[in-house]
Amino acid sequence: MMFHHDMCKDMQNRMILEQKIVECIKNNGFEMYYQPQYDFYQNQFRGFEALIRWYDAELGWISPAIFIPIAEESGDIIEIGEWVLREVCNTWAKWKKMFGQDGVISINVSAAQLTKTNFVELIDRVIVEYKINPSEIELEITESVFINDTDSIISTLNSLKNIGVSLSLDDFGTGYSSLTYLKDLPMDTLKIDKSFINDITENNRQAEITDALIELVHKLNMETIAEGVETKEQYDFLRYMKCDNIQGFYTGKPMDEQTAAQLLEQKCYA
């Protein structure tokens, strides 16, 4: 059973979810799934995006699109975010030891985390604690973080770059995008939203916009990742457009830790 958004409309259901989030944090009830990314040019595994998942015995699978905004408003996202960071880094370090794979692990970061005064220090401390090469950590930022105090956010991003981590801009073109600030952001990668990909093979204007976006990003010395790729036609189209990387059901669905480890093991002995 999936807990749908319309079940979260009234205050009572929201309060229930808020309490369940607190209990889930206390009982370590969240889990991480991992969706593979692939490099178009080198035709090889790039890494994973780490995605938080929550199954509740009473409500079933609860979408991150529902519980993350609630956690952000309540402030619980800070504790959840630190748990995600440590859990993912611990898993990545374990996989490195087991399989010796190269690549990156992409971790989503909320606006609340970015604006917390000790966030940069936390990232640095966790990287050192788990003995991870900073360049293998990619922090994924949504463009909504720039709604308020853009200068302060850019300063934080520059501090993160100084640590050596990579930065990826997610959801570009879906809400608050501005080419004006894009040139000032210390980003390494731009993710092309699924909404651009859905009808890319049927809609000529959509294809032209996506092609122009990829060309622009390359001129800004950033890489591109197309997410939500579900068909061979989309895959071939994006390869023709010289998109750098791909992520989506066509090349791999989000998978639990054990299944992701099996994927790495297969690559290790391939």
And the tokens for 94?
A: 């374990």
Residue 158 half-sphere exposure toward CB, CA atoms < 13 A: 8
Mean pLDDT of the chain: 90
- The secondary structure element, H or E, covering residue 109 is strand 104-109
Q: Is 72 exposed, middle or buried (0-12, 13-18, 19+ CB in 10 A)?
A: middle
Three-class secondary structure of residue 251 per DSSP: coil
Q: How far is CA 17 from the centre of its chain?
A: 23
* 117: enclosing H helix or E strand: none
List the domain boundaries for the chain: 1-22+52-73, 74-268
Ramachandran category for residue 38: left, alpha or beta (phi over 0 → left; psi -120 to 50 → alpha): beta
Burial code (b: 16+ CB inside 10 Å, e: under 16) for 34-52 equals bbbbbbbeeeebbbbbbbb
Which pair of structure tokens corresponds to residue 48? 């994973």
Assess contact for 95 and 88: CB atoms under 8 A: no
For the chain, residues with pLDDT lower than 70 are 1-10, 147-148, 173-181, 268-270
Q: Is the pTM of this model over 0.85?
A: yes
pLDDT one-digit tens code per residue, 127-137: 999 999 999 99
Burial class (CB in 10 A: 0-12, 13-18, 19+), 5: exposed
**Which architecture does CATH list for 74-268?**
Alpha-Beta Barrel (3.20)
Q: What is the pLDDT of residues 6-47, one digit of tens each?
A: 554 667 788 889 999 999 999 999 999 999 999 998 889 999
Residue 136: what pLDDT? 97
